[in-house]
């Protein structure tokens, strides 16, 4: 199939990152784990692309690989990830990658409680990053750190910049991480489950902060999350991953209004909603994700899919079902069937199959 052709039809004119055929596998004692299996996506300037998936879907590994954080003797990485000016991240030397990290591509992580080094003042940790990429004096870097802390909503920033990480709450530490990530005006901010470890009221503050900064600085955001609520809140486009592969890619509205992959239906169905009448039982997805040591042949979701048929033993390709559409999915069902099958009891979901457990 031709990814290039599909990309050319897409409306993104100004892209900051293009990932193509990314594959990441790890050698373990029990065999080779194919964590990321031929993943391609693009991030446009100033947009928020959400990668959605559950644990083991490969979403975090993909993001970490862009930063070179999965490099190890046990890892095999192939494919390509290029920035706007053509800088290749996958094959970059460690030294070249070091220059990109923190300055052109920055990252924040899930657990702000442990993400900072405990023995240094937060202002100094931000200044350290600035000085790693720019020739400025220590005093100037510190002054900029204070400005950044102020910008992300830390009160009394000058004073707080001299405090240690443990003297901040989780939400405040995540603000520090955001300030640090944006300190060198990167082109892309990778946010790996940035609010998962935070309370819901703090989550909404942090999401708003990221959104404000995106509008102000034009930084593109690659948001890794498992939470479809967060996706609806901030994303402009969505990539859904399952067992190492992209199974669906579309605009944010389409994922909720016109989802085409059965896994997406199941995911949408199993989220308890406070804005809807509560059902007697939560719709679920049967079984659990396949082992990446020995994934099933053909479609990776077929073991849990109530709509599977003979064709599913052959690997489906990621394709658009309508001409000129940027909405792509990886499933053999016809568009007509999909639109009929996805409604269960008046809402999008997966039916509960007759057999109790699919094997």
By CB under 8 A, what part of segment 267-296 binds another protein? 267-275, 278, 281-286, 288-289
Residue 249, SS3 per DSSP: strand
Instruction: Determine if 154 is a binding residue for another protein (CB under 8 A).
Output: yes
Q: Which is nearer to another protein, 132 or 335 (CB)?
A: 132
Q: Which is nearer to another protein, 116 or 318 (CB)?
A: 116
Q: Which residues contact 275 (CB under 8 A, 6 or more apart)?
A: none
Q: How far is the CB of 5 from another protein (least distance, A)?
A: 28
CB atoms closer than 10 angstroms to residue 263: 28
Span between the terminal Cα atoms of the chain, in Å: 31
Q: Which residues contact 197 (CB under 8 A, 6 or more apart)?
A: 110, 111, 112, 113, 170
Q: Which of 65, 203, 264, 303 binds another protein (CB under 8 A)?
A: 203
Residue 8, SS3 per DSSP: helix
Taking CB under 8 A as the binding criterion, the range among 11-19, 161-169, 322-330, 334-342 that sits at the site for another protein is 161-169
Count the site residues for another protein by CB under 8 A: 83
Instruction: Report the chain's C-alpha Rg in angstroms.
Output: 21
Helix (H) or strand (E) holding 349: none
How do 237-242 and 48-52 pair as beta strands? parallel
Q: How far is the CB of 231 from another protein (least distance, A)?
A: 7
Q: Which of 229, 293, 297, 339 binds another protein (CB under 8 A)?
A: 229
Q: Which of 78, 137, 169, 215 binds another protein (CB under 8 A)?
A: 169
Please list every residue from 296 through 335 that binds another protein, using CB under 8 A.
none
Q: Which is nearer to another protein, 151 or 328 (CB)?
A: 151
Write the CA distances from 35 to 75, 244, 246, 260, 337, integer angstroms: 10, 5, 12, 23, 30
Which residues are paired to 19 by β-bridges?
41, 81
Q: Judging by beta carbons within 10 Å of its beta carbon (0-12, 13-18, 19+), is residue 32 exposed, middle or buried?
A: middle
Q: How far is the CB of 141 from another protein (least distance, A)?
A: 12
Taking CB under 8 A as the binding criterion, the range among 26-34, 85-93, 220-228, 331-339 that sits at the site for another protein is 220-228
Query: What is d(CA 22, CA 354) in angstroms, rounded to the nearest whole number?
Result: 38
Q: Which of 1, 4, 200, 310 binds another protein (CB under 8 A)?
A: 200
Q: Which is nearer to another protein, 6 or 46 (CB)?
A: 46
CA 157 from centre of chain? 30
Instruction: Determine if 103 is a binding residue for another protein (CB under 8 A).
Output: yes
Which residues are paired to 37 by β-bridges?
23
Which residues are paired to 42 by β-bridges?
18
Instruction: Determine if 232 is a binding residue for another protein (CB under 8 A).
Output: yes
Please list every residue from 118 through 147 that binds another protein, using CB under 8 A.
118-120, 128-129, 132-133
Taking CB under 8 A as the binding criterion, the range among 6-14, 24-32, 136-144, 163-171 that sits at the site for another protein is 163-171
Query: What is d(CA 37, CA 58) in angstroms, rounded to the nearest whole number?
Result: 8
Instruction: Determine if 99 is a binding residue for another protein (CB under 8 A).
Output: yes
Comparing CA positions, the residue from 52, 28, 105, 2 lying closest to residue 228 is 52
Instruction: Determine if 347 is a binding residue for another protein (CB under 8 A).
Output: no
Instruction: Determine if 202 is a binding residue for another protein (CB under 8 A).
Output: yes
Q: Which of 178, 188, 228, 243 binds another protein (CB under 8 A)?
A: 228
Q: How far is the CB of 108 from another protein (least distance, A)?
A: 9
Query: What is d(CA 196, CA 54) in angstroms, rounded to the nearest whole number?
Result: 13
Tokens of 136: 């400025």
Q: Which of 9, 27, 138, 166 binds another protein (CB under 8 A)?
A: 166
Q: How far is the CB of 176 from another protein (least distance, A)?
A: 11
Q: How far is the CB of 159 from another protein (least distance, A)?
A: 9
């Amino acid at each position: 199939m031709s990814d290039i052709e599909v990309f050319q039809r897409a409306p993104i004119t100004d892209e900051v990152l293009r990932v193509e055929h990314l594959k990441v596998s790890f050698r373990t004692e029990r065999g080779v784990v194919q964590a990321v299996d031929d993943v391609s996506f693009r991030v446009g300037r100033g947009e928020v692309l959400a990668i959605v998936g559950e644990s083991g879907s490969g979403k975090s590994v993909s993001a970490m690989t862009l930063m070179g954080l999965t490099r190890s003797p046990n890892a095999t990485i192939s494919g390509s990830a290029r920035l706007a000016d053509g800088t290749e991240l996958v094959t970059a030397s460690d030294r070249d990658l070091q220059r990109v990290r923190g300055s052109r591509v920055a990252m924040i992580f899930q657990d702000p409680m442990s993400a900072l080094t405990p023995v240094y003042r937060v202002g100094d940790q931000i200044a350290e990053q600035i000085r790693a990429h720019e020739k400025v004096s220590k005093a100037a870097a510190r002054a900029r750190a204070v400005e950044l802390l102020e910008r992300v909503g830390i009160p009394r920033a000058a004073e707080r910049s001299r405090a240690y990480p443990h003297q901040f709450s989780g939400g405040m530490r995540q603000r520090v991480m955001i300030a640090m990530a944006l300190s060198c005006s990167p082109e892309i901010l990778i946010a790996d489950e940035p609010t998962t470890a935070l309370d819901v009221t703090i989550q909404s503050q942090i999401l708003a902060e990221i959104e404000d900064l995106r509008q102000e600085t034009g930084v593109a955001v690659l948001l890794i999350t498992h939470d479809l609520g967060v996706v609806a809140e901030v994303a402009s486009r969505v990539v859904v991953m399952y067992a190492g592969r992209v199974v669906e890619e579309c605009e944010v509205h389409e994922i909720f209004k016109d989802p085409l992959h059965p896994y997406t239906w199941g995911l949408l169905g199993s989220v308890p909603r406070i804005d809807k009448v509560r059902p007697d039982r939560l719709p679920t997805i049967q079984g659990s994700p396949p082992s990446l040591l020995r994934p099933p042949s053909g479609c990776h979701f077929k073991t849990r899919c109530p709509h599977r048929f003979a064709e599913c033993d052959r690997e489906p390709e990621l394709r658009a079902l309508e001409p000129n559409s940027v909405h792509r999915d990886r499933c053999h069902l016809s568009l007509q069937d999909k639109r009929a099958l996805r409604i269960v009891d008046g809402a999008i979901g997966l039916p509960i199959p007759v057999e109790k457990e699919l094997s």
